[in-house]
């Protein structure tokens, strides 16, 4: 046996099945999309065995793209989980044969509850189709299994069909990156679109601050004790007047090794670049890179200092450009 060739046959068989399903899409697909879109409750996806695994994935994808969806295990539904279903829901049942006993046992009760039933199947004459308000019938496709028995091409087709429903629905909802970020707060995109400077800046006692007319020694001690590689210089009203960084320190010592007698006012950088606490952390990171600096003072109205943000803080929050 040529192992590589056998592997390629599986891919080719499943690709053919997808092309076949794609070509068979018709008005029933549109009706199913509209039924889910107009649903005032939630989408409940159910299936048994391999179809159940696909149903669980479809529910997860739907939820990620703006459709409120859950997976219902038909066997558990027989023992109380039917309580998840209400009359405003849409139940989408998946079975290639359309004759799965566990699903057939719950369909009469779902009818009584009043939920709309959609069946996805390869058998137009099945009992599941007879119970349904809407159905999509897959054309007969070849399984990639060498015996044409194990669900392979058929489960792939169901999965892609579910993806098609989810993506089309998300476009109808006007679902965008901000919506996606809102329900994926731990993901990279979520962090980029949600995390603001104020949430991760150093503030209060964690910030490095000295008053105008402080000695050079006082400023260096404050900067080193806070470990921020920058100290902010403010007046008595906490208005930012300048900054002094570890880079400034190295440059100053190269020019004037005897700098300890200076006041910090004499060597600070006046009118520094600042950032607002409400700015997205990813935008602050972009500014830091553009200016080739590692830290920024965070100010509010009238340049009142409220914190310090560093490249390291933003990257540690999982945010990258």
Q: How far apart are CA 262 and CA 213, in angstroms?
A: 10
- Going by C-alpha positions, the residue among 67, 270, 79, 282 that lies closest to residue 92 is 67
Quote the pLDDT of residue 256.
Answer: 78
pTM above 0.75, yes or no: no
- For the stretch 138-182, pLDDT in tens is 999 999 988 888 899 999 999 999 999 999 999 999 988 777 777
Domains and CATH numbers, the chain: 3-175 (3.40.50.10490), 194-316 (3.10.580.10)
What is the spatial distance between Cα 69 and Cα 56, in angstroms, rounded to a whole number?
10
* CA distance to 118, 130, 148, per residue, from 75 (Å): 18, 21, 27
| pLDDT for position 186 | 67
**229 near 248, Cβ under 8 Å?**
no
| Range of lowest pLDDT (25-34, 143-152, 298-307) | 143-152
Select from 177, 188, 283, 262 the least CA-distant residue to 218: 262
pLDDT (tens digit, 9 = 90+) per residue, 245-285? 999 998 888 887 777 778 999 999 999 999 999 999 999 99
Query: Token match 């509850």: residue?
Result: 113
Q: Given a cut of 80, is residue 48 above it in pLDDT?
A: yes
pLDDT at 192: 78
pLDDT value of residue 104: 97
Residues of the chain above pLDDT 90, percent: 83
- Give CA separation, 150 vs 49, 124, 154, in Å: 11, 20, 9
Predicted pLDDT at 126: 97
Predicted pLDDT of residue 112: 96
Other beta carbons within 10 Å of 117: 22
Q: How far apart are CA 109 and CA 216, in angstroms?
A: 80
Using DSSP, how many helices (H) and how many strands (E) does the chain show?
Answer: 14, 12
User: What pLDDT score does 194 carry?
Assistant: 82
Give yes or no for a contact between 314 and 284, defined as CB atoms under 8 angstroms apart.
Answer: yes
DSSP string, 256-314: -S--TTSBGGGTSEES---EETTSBHHHHHHHHHHHT-SEEEEE-GGGBEEEEEEHHHH
Percent of the chain with pLDDT over 70: 98
Q: What's the average model confidence in pLDDT over 70-77?
A: 96
Residue 37 tokens, joined: 């879109």
- 85-89, 115-119, 217-221: the lowest-pLDDT one: 217-221
**What order of strands is seen across the sheet that includes strand 116-121?**
69-72, 43-47, 90-94, 116-121, 134-137
Res 258: pLDDT: 74
């Amino acid at each position: 046996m040529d192992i590589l060739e056998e592997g390629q046959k599986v891919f080719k068989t499943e690709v053919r099945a997808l092309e076949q399903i794609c070509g068979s899409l018709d008005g029933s697909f549109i009706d199913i999309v509209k039924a889910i879109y107009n649903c005032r409750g939630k989408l409940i996806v159910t299936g048994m065995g391999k179809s159940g695994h696909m149903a669980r994935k479809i529910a997860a994808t739907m939820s990620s793209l703006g459709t409120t969806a859950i997976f219902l295990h038909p066997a558990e539904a027989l023992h109380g989980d039917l309580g998840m279903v209400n009359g405003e829901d849409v139940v989408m049942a998946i079975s290639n044969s359309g004759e799965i006993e566990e699903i057939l046992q719950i369909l009469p009760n779902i009818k009584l509850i009043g939920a709309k039933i959609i069946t996805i199947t390869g058998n137009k004459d099945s009992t599941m189709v007879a119970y349904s308000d809407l159905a999509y019938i897959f054309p007969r496709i070849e399984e990639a299994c060498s015996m044409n028995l194990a669900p392979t091409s058929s489960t792939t087709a169901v999965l892609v069909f579910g993806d098609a429903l989810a993506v089309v629905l998300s476009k109808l909802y006007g679902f965008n990156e901000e919506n996606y970020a809102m329900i994926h707060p731990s993901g990279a995109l979520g962090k980029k679109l949600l995390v603001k400077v104020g949430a991760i800046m150093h503030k209060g006692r964690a910030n490095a601050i000295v008053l105008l007319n402080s000695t050079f020694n006082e400023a260096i001690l404050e900067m080193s004790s806070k470990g921020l590689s920058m100290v902010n210089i403010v007046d008595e009203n906490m208005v930012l007047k300048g900054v002094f960084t570890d880079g400034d320190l190295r440059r100053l010592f190269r020019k004037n090794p005897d700098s300890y007698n200076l006041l910090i006012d004499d060597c600070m950088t006046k009118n520094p670049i600042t950032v607002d606490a409400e700015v997205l952390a990813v935008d602050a990171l972009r500014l830091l890179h553009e200016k080739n600096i590692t830290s920024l003072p965070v100010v509010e109205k009238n340049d009142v200092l409220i914190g310090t943000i560093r490249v390291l803080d933003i990257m540690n929050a999982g945010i990258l450009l």
